[in-house]
Amino acid sequence: MSLDPEQLRERILALEIEHRDLDEAIARLADLPTRDDLLLTRLKKRKLQLKDQVLQLKMLLVPDIPA
């Protein structure tokens, strides 16, 4: 998958929005007295995956520096 820098930025933004939304959902779920710990764990795992994807895509935007 080869994306131009603008497409990369758009994808990063979409992933960051999903990450932020998950963060809010996790906070709300954690506050519930009858929370679903399995769901909470899955959401946290997805949030970490998103963070990793964002970091990988951001690295693609950094130009190679000659040694």
Question: pLDDT tens across 6-56, in order?
Answer: 999 999 999 999 999 999 999 999 999 998 999 999 999 999 999 999 999
Mark out the alpha helices in 1-67 (DSSP H runs). 5-31, 37-61
| pLDDT computed for residue 67 by the predictor | 64
Torsion of CA 18, 19, 23, 29, to 10 degrees: 50
Q: Are 11 and 60 in contact (CB under 8 A)?
A: no
pTM score: 0.84
- Per domain, the residue ranges of the chain are 5-59
What confidence category does residue 1 fall into, taking pLDDT thresholds of 50, 70 and 90? Answer: low
